[in-house]
């Protein structure tokens, strides 16, 4: 019965996560800890397993549509995987109380970021590293191919290191930071940022999930229904996203994220 409830909850989390392009991890960890009273470390490990599964499916679709900048993703993974290893090592010494506070703060930041209007912009200049490593590219839009350049590569790499630490500590894909770094600092088109971030999320989560597995924090009775539920939910969410008005979803979700963030911070302070 407990597994069925977890499965239904995970379907809802995957649905909302896909609808907003944030992944189910950002929703499932607070639900597992606040509603089911599961140890936050087991919740984080289960979330990471589900992120690997959902990211793989979406990444294949984006690669087929030529939206993912594979060369840039592989380069930036140096930062995220290093960050994920550092994050896992830090998690061993960090108290659960601090994880609640950190997660609550992250949720509140995500809510603020979702209120931000996204403006499409293309850069006309490559950073010297981007020029040397051929990190710029092109993508199809409106029946034609549009080219783009890549700016501030070292800043992007540093942001990915921070995203990797958060991914391992909190069991999230930290996609919001990856997209913000590529969209804001590196000046990539939003579609390319989202697709490349999705590809990277799975790799980062794999590094973190492997470490939690070795530590014995992956509980099959929690991880299995959560992973299956989030996959089902994200498939339904991806289809629903096309039909639903984004503005309404965004407003509802900002309210939900804000409430949950306050609850997580209060639990951490107790």
| pLDDT the model gives residue 25 | 72
The DSSP annotation for 176-242 comes to HHHHHIIIIIS---HHHHHHHHHHHHHHHHHHHHHHHHHHT---HHHHHHHHHHHHHHHHHHHHHHH
Q: Which residue, among 34, 87, 22, 2, has the nearest Cα to 230 in the 3D structure?
A: 22
Q: Which residue, among 42, 34, 36, has the nearest Cα to 7 in the 3D structure?
A: 36
What mean pLDDT do residues 219-223 have?
91
Q: How far apart, in whole angstroms, are the C-alpha atoms of residue 225 and residue 43?
A: 12
- Stated as kind and residue range, the H or E segment containing 148 is strand 144-148
Winning range, highest mean pLDDT, from 8-12, 142-146, 266-270: 8-12
pTM of the model: 0.75
Contact 188, 194 (CB under 8 A): no
Q: Domain range spanning residue 146?
A: 2-269
Q: For the chain, what is the domain count? A: 1
pLDDT surpassing 60 at residue 12: yes
pLDDT surpassing 60 at residue 246: no
| pLDDT the model gives residue 251 | 75
| pLDDT the model gives residue 78 | 93
Contact 99, 169 (CB under 8 A): yes
| pLDDT the model gives residue 230 | 86
pLDDT tens for residues 155-210? 999 989 988 888 888 777 777 778 778 887 888 887 788 788 878 888 888 888 88
Q: How far apart, in whole angstroms, are the C-alpha atoms of residue 6 and residue 172?
A: 18
What mean pLDDT do residues 104-126 have?
75
Contact 108, 257 (CB under 8 A): yes
Winning range, highest mean pLDDT, from 1-10, 74-83, 257-266: 74-83
What is the pLDDT confidence band of residue 17, given thresholds at 50, 70 and 90?
confident
pLDDT tens for residues 66-81? 888 999 999 999 999 8
Q: Which of 2-6, 57-61, 174-178 has the lowest mean pLDDT?
A: 57-61
| pLDDT the model gives residue 109 | 83
| pLDDT the model gives residue 169 | 82
Q: Is 124 exposed, middle or buried (0-12, 13-18, 19+ CB in 10 A)?
A: exposed
pLDDT surpassing 70 at residue 134: yes
Higher pLDDT, 213 or 241: 213
Alpha carbons within 13 angstroms on the beta-carbon side of residue 195 total 20
What is the pLDDT confidence band of residue 99, given thresholds at 50, 70 and 90?
confident
| pLDDT the model gives residue 20 | 64
| pLDDT the model gives residue 155 | 93
| pLDDT the model gives residue 21 | 60
Supply the mean pLDDT for the chain.
Answer: 82
């Amino acid at each position: 019965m407990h597994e069925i409830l977890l499965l239904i909850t995970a379907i809802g989390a995957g649905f909302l996560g896909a609808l907003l392009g944030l992944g189910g991890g950002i929703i499932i960890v607070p639900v597992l800890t606040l509603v089911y009273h599961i140890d936050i470390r087991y919740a984080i490990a289960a979330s990471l397993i589900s992120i690997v599964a959902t990211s793989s499916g979406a990444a294949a679709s984006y690669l087929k549509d030529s939206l993912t900048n594979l060369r840039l993703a592989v380069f930036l993974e140096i930062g995220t995987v290093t960050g994920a290893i550092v994050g896992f090592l830090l998690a061993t010494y960090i108290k659960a109380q601090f994880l609640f506070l950190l997660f609550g703060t992250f949720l509140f930041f995500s809510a603020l970021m979702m209120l931000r209007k996204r403006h499409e912009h293309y850069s006309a200049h490559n950073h010297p590293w981007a020029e040397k490593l051929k990190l710029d590219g092109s993508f199809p839009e409106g029946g034609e191919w549009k080219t783009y350049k890549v700016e501030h590569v070292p800043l992007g790499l540093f942001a990915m290191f921070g995203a990797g630490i958060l991914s391992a500590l909190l069991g999230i894909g930290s996609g919001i930071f990856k997209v913000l770094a590529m969209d804001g600092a590196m000046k990539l088109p939003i579609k390319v940022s989202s697709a490349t971030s999705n590809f990277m999320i799975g790799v980062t989560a794999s590094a973190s999930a492997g470490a939690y597995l070795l530590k014995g924090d992956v509980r099959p009775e929690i991880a299995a229904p959560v992973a299956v539920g989030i996959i089902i939910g994200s498939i339904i969410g991806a289809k629903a996203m096309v039909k639903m008005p984004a503005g309404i979803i965004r407003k509802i979700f900002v309210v939900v994220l804000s409430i949950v963030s306050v609850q997580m911070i209060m639990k951490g302070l107790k």
